[in-house]
Amino acid sequence: MFGEVSLAVLGVLLGNTGSEQNNYDSKQIKEKFDKFILNAIEIKIIGRDLDFLLDKEYNSQREVIEKLKDKAQLLCEHTTDIRLIELYHKLLEKGVRIRSYSTRDGIANLKGQIKINDRNESSGIFVIKSTDVPIGFLNNLLKKFIKEKVFQLTEMRSSFLLDSVSRHFDETFSNSLNPVIKYIALDLGGVYFDGNIDRFYKFLKDSYDVSIKPDKKDRLNIDDDFVLGKIDIKELIDKKSTTRNKFRKLKDQDWDSIFNEWQNTWKPNRQMKELMEYLDSLGYEIIPFSNLDRQNGDKYLRDSYLPKCCKRFYLSYERGKCKPNEDCFKDFESFVKGDNTDIRGYQILLIDDEPDNLRIAKSLEWENISYNSNTDKIEKLIAELKKIGILPQGYELL
């Protein structure tokens, strides 16, 4: 992919055709880049990391980047360095577009910038390699003791070669990933599963004339005692039924049928399962984060209803906390972090259908996507995941 760009630019260095190539020390390189970015109305930056933007000496470059917002596109290598993750998070909040490439993309040694200036002219500036050479007026006497990095820098103006580099940048950028998000908190009842509790209520009414007044919030947020594992489905029906006389007449075989119907109310969506397992292959950790009753939760775990990639599960009846209580979200953060104090809340993406859950997640700086499996097509979720760089643009469901 981008390895072709490295070869193209290296060819320019060797042939020096249609470009300007010179050697510079680090201070001169900084001055070059400071000047280069000043009149940019669009900028593309390629770098192994962008830690120079943490340096106060580079404030002028950072200010231009932040001012350009989504007209600035930054490509960096994937990192676990929390300093860099915090930097990328702050830039993303400013509207800057940042993606991280993997080492297999073959661009780790290529650093540079491509811009369109205020006269709508394209140009590029690239640093390909550096060597250690003696410097200073005492070269002849002290060359064994004083050394400084000397960089080979290539400048290119509008040309077929520059256009080619820019196109390869765009291709790599579109298929690179969000540099911040690491964990995906996956709701089950309204996101991962197909099904609706209204169907279960209808079954009770049609089969046994047992009526339950539905709650507009009923999905898996049915009753706190229920999803905290304090009562089972029989006790829930007893609690919510408006036809108590019919409830009392139910026999053991009736309850066997009711339990079976309840455990088949929700089933995993095949496409959602495929999508989550693909996200796992990209390096995200998928953690089911859901309100569940004990009976169904145990069944889902036992019968492998949940994505095979999942290693950890945050289920209300096990944790003793349920959404949309804020302390549940804070407990989920602690659950995710474990002993790793370098993990931040903004590294979590919540996929949920309940507005209250999304609101609380946002207040804790989590990324969030609203998705309801009963009303939304999965293509909507895929588009949202691509928009924030969780999925590469080229991804398609099988």
Domain range annotation of the chain: 3-174, 181-398
**Topology (CATH level 3) of domain 3-174:** Endonuclease; Chain A (3.30.870)
What phi and psi values does residue 286 have, to the nearest 5 degrees? -90, 120
Question: What are 298-329's pLDDT values in tens digits?
Answer: 999 999 999 989 999 999 999 999 999 999 99
Judge whether 3-174 and 181-398 match in fold. no
What phi and psi values does residue 345 have, to the nearest 5 degrees? -60, -35
b/e per residue 35-72 (b: at least 16 CB within 10 A): ebbeebeebbbbbbbbeebeeeebeebbebbbebeebb
CATH class in words for 181-398: alpha beta
Question: What are 109-165's pLDDT values in tens digits?
Answer: 678 999 999 999 999 998 865 554 444 444 444 444 445 567 788 888 878 889 988
pLDDT higher at 140 or 166: 166
Cβ(2)–Cβ(172) below 8 Å = yes
Enter the pTM of the model.
Answer: 0.87
Helix ranges (DSSP H) in 241-306: 244-248, 252-262, 270-281, 294-302
* Structure token digits, residue 67: 């001012």
